[in-house]
Structure 1
Amino acid sequence: MHLRTDLRLENVTLSAGSSVVLKGVSLQTSLAGITLLSGRNGTGKTTLLRALLGLDKPSHGSIFLRNAVPEDIRKDVGYMPQSIGDAALAIPAFSHVLNAVGGACWGLPFHWRARRREAERVLKLTGARVFAHRPLGALSGGERQRIGLAQALIGAPELLFLDEPLAGLDHGAQNEIISLLCELSRNLGIGVLMTSHETSSLKDVVSRTLLLEGGHLRARI
């Protein structure tokens, strides 16, 4: 089966401060299934994710997602950062997701019923409705990640970019999140690109690994 090219880099140089993340890198790959972006601490995985979202700019070269520049396809990409700000921890999880729906808007009518339906839809997808009435700060790490995933799923994106979704979770919670990601990818056809240091937990489920090391990015199937 032929897999389309979801990600294409053309002679990309990217830096984070004085550190070089990518140095003249060209690469093309599918992001179907689950793709692991791996690398040691400090190699710039978060910076690369942000560049793929169009939030950080390369100093040279071009980045394409599905033959479009990241800014033009942003509504088709859901993003979950490493952590939720402390100011959000006191509010109910449902309100957090509802606010995100209103902020993103993604073509929905700006009406509270439409916003509420979308919030309920994504919470159901991630199995988070049962605890969505509780404050974010009262949730376990795994529950909080489900809320983050729900927020990333607003607007039915075709790609999900997740920054360390397994960090700080015990083994059981990690397995639950991995199973959820596999289910979302399989049932909804979403391509998942995630950073993680938990390579042993993911080895049996990833479709490919992108290894970031020394300014180079290499794809391993």
Structure 2
Amino acid sequence: MTLRVVVADDQELVRSGFAMILDAQPGIEVVAEAGDGAEAVAAVRRHAPDVALLDIRMPVMDGIGACREITAAGGCRVVMLTTFDIDEYVYEALRAGASGFLLKDVRRDDLVHAVRVVARGDSLLAPSVARRLVEQYTRQGQGVPGGVPAGAGAAAGAARLDVLTARERETLLMLGRGLSNAEIASRMTVSEHTVKTHVGNVLAKLGLRDRIQAVICAYETGLVTVPAPPLG
């Protein structure tokens, strides 16, 4: 099946470059390009792509706003692009519903890999990266869609996790600690296929979009705690 992609960036050369790279790959088709966030939203509505590649800083509507509208409608997953390696953009992108985050100096192979990973329903951030982001993210008191607001208390978090079986809860705990599926399988002494099943059940039962939101949920519900900063 061919993956359909929309590429949005206000810089024509950048936009065209990404589009050319992706269009040259087997099984990937760039169905539209957009020069701002509003055009991107319109293109997604018109072409129903699998993935939208969005620059964060664009005129008319920025990438965060476009991401929010696209993910709210469902059916299309979003990878955010930026030249700025600043954490606040990652937080805003995650809050808006993005499934991945790349800098514009990304290598060709990594760009293609990102589109394929996100299209199949996975998150782009490696578990260790996700963990570091979430530790800062939750300290700022941000919430996750469908989650318990930060600071809502351990009781609310514990109650939300009651829908999980013991194995699913254990899986969420290890997701929150940044373990990969292979590492979880090793610790639980089960196959990776079984871990994927547990992860899928966790996402479905808690109403989460992907494993990034699962990691955030593990922190917000108190299942995993952020270490206190050292004194002095």
TM-score of the alignment, normalized to the shorter chain, above 0.5: no
Q: TM-score, normalised by structure 1?
A: 0.32
Higher relative contact order (CA 8 A, sep 6+): 1
The structure that has the greater radius of gyration is 2
Q: TM-score, normalised by structure 2?
A: 0.31
Q: Which of the pair is proportionally richer in helix?
A: 2
